[in-house]
Amino acid sequence: MSDYLSSSDTVELFDQFVIPNYVRYPVNLVRGEGSKVWDSEGKEYLDLFPGWGCNLLGHCPPRIVEAVQKQVAELIHVPNTWYMQQQGQWAQLLSERSFGGQAFFCNSGAEANEAAIKLARLHTPAERYKIITFTGGFHGRTLGALTATAQPKYHEGLGPLVAGFTYCPFGDLAAVREAVSDQTCAIMLEPIQGEGGVQIPPDGFLQGLRELADEHGLVLIFDEVQTGCGRTGEWFGYKYFGVEPDIMTLAKSLCGGIAGGAMMARPEIAASLKPGTHASTFGGNPIAAAAGIAAIETIEAEGLLDHAKQLSQLIEDKANALVDQFEFVRQVRVAGLMIGIELDIEGAPIVAQCMKQGLLINCTQGNILRLLPAMNLELSDAERGLDIIAEALQAVGRESIEA
């Protein structure tokens, strides 16, 4: 007999004891391996949105499991008032693969972005406090990160928000130039918008922002919470465009599924974050550090950056065929293993149909199917996943149009 509660019993447990602030599918997931997960009834799912993009190496990657098991048996947690060898080594690995910055560790993307916002303000004169962010962006759910998120639907009922944020259209360099004032201290954005629907900036946009930042002495912050750590087939999304930021934030896949976040900053900017100005109790703890190191070692030992590029091309080819096959598939956008399939119909029924057929994907912005598959996804599983999506589009799309 299984030790797991049935899915229906688990739903009942949640209904009584868990705050219902998430829309959940009525499935109790109990086990994962690679790009597959199983529910308590034993049904297998191919997961092309594992852990909301956190499980970049799939479910339970062996090197990370081994590193965490070893670490918890030696040292689980010590405060950041002591040195930890693992944290220093982890920072070195990240610095050497990015722009030579220094690391501040925390627990999540929102925390990393809060640190970036504070550092930008601390590094510039007090009268320069305004930060330019972009419509469609997403930077987290804490109040500062949420204010940076230029999507009104997330602001409803929460005012007054944090002062000092100016929103510009994503990709509109002229609007940014117009928005810069003597009070501006930073420009903050995702190099590729994730939750906004895998929006890729137009050619020259990031280069233009770099030039504007240099011209006006602004801090350029790239939120790489979703694009970082190999997601695009490069170590970091900014390498996709050849534009380096001054500050970069990381989380999600940083520790291969274990909670962890980081802010990387150029040393001359990082120096403004002095003792007492910011902290994170669990940030960079030995378990997260062990997992973060193991994640980097796994990607390099298994050649996953190259494999991600192969996967990306296969998925792009298969996804682009959907545009020709279905008139309601408007556009496909692919940046490494960030895939957005924009529809002219609601995406939620497609996601539900895929789940019935044993495939897990996501829908964002109401009509954009989003895939964030693991880097070690088998090519054959990628093909199978796209075939299931095509079948779901066939089944649900016709019903939607006829309705």
The CA angle 344-156-13, to the nearest 5 degrees, is: 85
**Cβ contact 35:383 at 8 Å:** no
- Helices and strands, number each (H, E), in the chain: 12, 15
393, two tokens = 């589009």
**Phi and psi for 249 in degrees, rounded to 5?**
-110, 145
CA distance 221 to 381: 36
Q: Which residues are annotated as a binding site?
A: 109-110, 138, 141, 223-226, 280-281
Query: What are the contacts of 61-66 at 24+ separation with CB within 8 A?
Result: 61/256, 61/257, 61/294, 61/295, 61/298, 61/376, 63/294, 63/297, 63/298, 63/301, 64/255, 64/256, 64/257, 64/258, 64/291, 64/294, 64/295, 64/298, 66/294
Q: Which residues are annotated as a binding site for pyridoxal 5'-phosphate?
A: 109-110, 138, 223-226, 281
Three-class DSSP category at 16: helix
42, two tokens = 């034993």
Task: Select from 57, 100, 110, 145 the least CA-distant residue to 262.
Answer: 110
**Cβ contact 94:255 at 8 Å:** no
Q: Which residues are annotated as a binding site for N(2)-acetyl-L-ornithine?
A: 141, 280
